[in-house]
Amino acid sequence: MPSSASMLHWVERLQSEGRYAFTRTQAVTDTGRSAVAVQHALRRLKEKGRVVSPRSGFYVVVPPEYRAAGSPPASWFIHDLMRHLAQPYYVGLLSAAAIHGAAHQQPMVFQVVTDRSTREVCVGRVAIRFSMSSRLSQMPVVLKQTETGTMRVSTPEATAFDLVRYQSAAGHLSNVATVLSELVERIDAEVLASICPVVSLPDVQRLGYLLEAIGASEVAAPLAGWLKSYSPRAVALRPGEPAHGDVDRRWRVLPNEPLEIEA
């Protein structure tokens, strides 16, 4: 049975190679020990704060500078975690917006979009919250370099649509508008319009309305052009809330919540 000292030596060797995530199966294979012995040794390392386990059978090395936090940042292991779960994903919403430079308000949790309902991950001070999307594979992403490899991140254009679609995850509409006011500098209007066939008509209407509200009419214009072919019904700016006031003629949106955009 491997002692915690010998297992720690193996973990430290991984760290020296720039690898911070591993599976129990990998530990068994690399050490040549039984699954039970490895599990016991890893449990002792968890108790000492040397590793954490965001999901059963998956472990993350905690370097000295992150011992107080209880875990390294989610960006260090999100790609490996999602591969362990066998789930497609991308980093999205406020987390993606911050990565693209719209960091007016740093998100309290690391936000990830995947294709099925997934419970939140909490390790130390790190929390990863998941949103579910059936359109995941159709949304454009970019690979972003991390301290330990790469991770999939929604493009600025896809992020804009997701912020509107998942309003509750983004805080509130005024926060969405504030983030969009910073993100818009990274948005290509034609690329944004190319995503319209993938998302719902109300998403296009609400995003166009918000972009115009923040003074980004040129970015919103291709969305308005795309909508002309569809004669969409009127939708509330904030879904699920009473709709009142006059319908915006261009976007067919009922502005049922005032917007307060922070400078």
| pLDDT tens digits along 91-118 | 999 999 999 999 766 778 999 999 999 9
Report the pLDDT value the prediction gives residue 227, as an integer from 0 to 100.
95
Distance CA 81, CA 112 (A): 12
Q: Which amino acid is at 134?
A: S
- State the number of CA atoms in the 13 A half-sphere of 160 facing the CB: 32
Does residue 238 have a pLDDT over 50?
yes
**pLDDT class of 4 with cuts at 50, 70, 90:** low
Residue 209, Cα to own-chain centre: how many angstroms? 24
What pLDDT, in 10s, does the model give residues 214-224?
A: 999 999 999 99
What pLDDT, in 10s, does the model give residues 174-212?
A: 999 999 999 999 999 999 999 999 999 999 999 999 999
What pLDDT, in 10s, does the model give residues 120-161?
A: 999 999 999 999 999 999 999 999 999 999 999 999 999 999
Report the pLDDT value the prediction gives residue 1, as an integer from 0 to 100.
42
Report the pLDDT value the prediction gives residue 177, as an integer from 0 to 100.
95
What pLDDT, in 10s, does the model give residues 9-63?
A: 999 999 999 999 999 999 999 988 899 999 999 999 999 999 999 999 999 999 9
Q: Which residues pair with 103 in a beta bridge?
A: none
Find, among 160, 233, 152, 235, the residue nearest to 196 by Cα.
160
Instruction: Give the pTM.
Output: 0.93
- Domain spanning 4-66: CATH 1.10.10.10: yes
Q: Where in the chain are all domains bearing CATH 1.10.10.10?
A: 4-66
Distance CA 124, CA 135 (A): 31
In the 8-state DSSP scheme, what is residue 212? H
- State the number of CA atoms in the 13 A half-sphere of 176 facing the CB: 28
